[in-house]
Structure 1
Amino acid sequence: MTFDWAFIVSTLPAFGKSVWVTLQLGAIVIATSLTVALLNVALLGLHRPLLSAVIRGYVELARNTPLLIQLFFLYFGLPALGLSLSGFATAVIAMTFLGGGYLTEALRAGVAAVPHSQLEAGQAIGLSRWQLLRHVQLPQAWLASLPALFANFIFLLKETTVASAVAVPELLYTTKNYIALYYKTYEMLAVLTLMCVLIFLPLSLLLRTLERRLQYGQFGH
């Protein structure tokens, strides 16, 4: 089998645009998912049974529903109700729904790991429930949750490939288009693999280094 290197080179500008779409979608989804998770953990801190049950139900639904089904429901189902979304908006909403569930669970586990003695000490000096959450629980929960949070960040970036199902022009979408048009299957799969390695491996190493430095307080030394 001989690779058509000239063809591969000719596709690189299109793949460059797809990389940007992938990173843009991933960054937005990570930010929105983390926002949802922080809000959920704050609401769980109120210890309201009904509210807690709703959040737990959301987490289970988000984590146990395939992303592809969520995308199809939003992209093809909502127009029947008179609401149409672009592919990119659909991907952001569906992936935020998914990511919010996973990140909520990661942060919740971190909050639960904070020693109860520290909460009692905070209550003894007059801290309110919100102050305890902000100044005692969340800072420690963040550090304890870093491995799970960063692993889920990479997971969400990888899940951007599913957005090709709703015509978001990310890496997999571009790959499938070139294969359909020019039948250069092996060349395009090779480019896709290379692009994924170039994106995800450095990010994984960066997050691992950041995690280690944050957890062991190596910044500023």
Structure 2
Amino acid sequence: MADYWSSVIMPMLEGAQMTLLLFFIAIIVSVPIGFLLTLAINSKVKPLSWLATIYVTIMRGTPLLLQLLIICFGLPMIPGIGEYLTIDRFAAACLGFILNYAAYFAEIFRGGLLSIDKGQYEAAKVLGLSKSQTTRKIILPQMFRVALPSVANESITLIKDTALLYAVAVPELLHFAETAVNRDFSIVPYFIAGAIYLIMTIILTVFFKWLERRFQYE
């Protein structure tokens, strides 16, 4: 058992650290970018709104795996400038996840904004609140409350999508599981990997349930 722990489970736990690192980087950066994209889409500056809409459409309409392959392997092949676009695989993967998930979060936040009754803007105006005060104190709290369940679902999807790192040769959880399977000719590492993913998603689910309850009582 000790040998199995050191040769199979420990490397997989190390891979899980890479999985979690990518998750936290992607979620911390893509959420604010997604919110800025929402503001850009709703902007009265039409070129800005169009560009943001086109960006979100492209990123949501093409597979994340394809985007990762382009960033990791495609950009360095561009004649003339390819050598300047070659970056570390993990950094490239982080960039791909951030760009992709920012588009999804943008749509989630946009849906949250659309769910707010227009009458609340008028009521805030009657109360003498400025546009910035209305946005900060009334609109944004409600938007985040409405969007939170969708953000939770997207975050859980993100932690599972980190398995795509395997396709761009970044050593994460699934990589070490596959290595153990090929070495030992056993499917047990797959089940161990599945259990680790399940534990991570359960922890994330519990956290977001707690967050939703906090928002309900505020």
Same fold (TM over 0.5): yes
Task: Determine whether 1:22 maps to 2:25.
Answer: no
1:59 CA drift (Å):
1.5
8 Å CA contact 1:44, 1:51 repeated in 2: yes
The residue aligned with 2:154 is 152
Shift of 1:108: 0.6
Counterpart amino acid of 2:156?
Answer: I
Following the alignment from structure 1 to structure 2, what is the Cα–Cα distance between the partners of residues 70 and 14?
A: 28
**Which of 171, 176, 179 is residue 177 of structure 1 equivalent to?**
179
Q: 1:42–1:133: 8 Å Cα contact kept in structure 2?
A: no
Deviation at 1:126, TM superposition (A): 5.2
| Aligned Cα root-mean-square deviation (Å) | 1.8
- 1:43/1:99 CA distance change after superposition, 3 Å: same
Kindly provide the amino acid, as one letter, of the partner of residue 155 in structure 1: T
The residue aligned with 2:49 is: 52
Offset at residue 178 of structure 1 (A): 2.3
Runs of 4+ that moved beyond 6 A: none
Shift of 1:143: 0.4
Assess, with a 3 A threshold, how the Cα gap between structure 1 residues 58 and 65 changes in structure 2: closer, same or farther. same
* Deviates most, 167-176 or 67-76: 167-176
Structure 2: distance between partners of 1:114 and 1:102: 19
Q: Are positions 1:192 and 2:211 aligned together? A: no
Q: How does 1:107-122 map to 2 (within 5 A)?
A: 107-122=109-124
| Partner residue, 2:74 | 77
Distance of 1:171 and 1:113 partners within structure 2: 39
- Give the residue type in structure 1 aligned to 2:143: A
Q: Is there any run of 5+ residues in structure 2 with no aligned partner, and where?
A: none
Work out the percentage of aligned pairs sharing the same amino acid.
Answer: 29
Q: Which residue of 1 aligns with 2:206?
A: 205
- Cα deviations across residues 129-179 of structure 1 (Å, max 9, x unaligned)? x44333322111000111101111111111100011112221111112223
User: Is there any run of 5+ residues in structure 1 with no aligned partner, and where?
Assistant: none
TM norm structure 2: 0.89
State how far apart, in whole Å, the 2-side matches of 1:79 and 1:91 are: 14
* Corresponding residue for residue 38 of structure 1: 35
Quote how far apart the aligned CAs of 1:45 are: 4.0
Amino acid at match of 2:30: S
Shift of 1:63: 1.2
Amino acid at match of 2:19: T
Q: Is the 8 A contact 2:19 2:162 kept in 1?
A: yes
Aligned pair count reads 211
Q: 1:201 Cα shift? A: 1.7
> Aligned AA for 1:49?
K
Q: Secondary structure at the match of 1:185?
A: coil
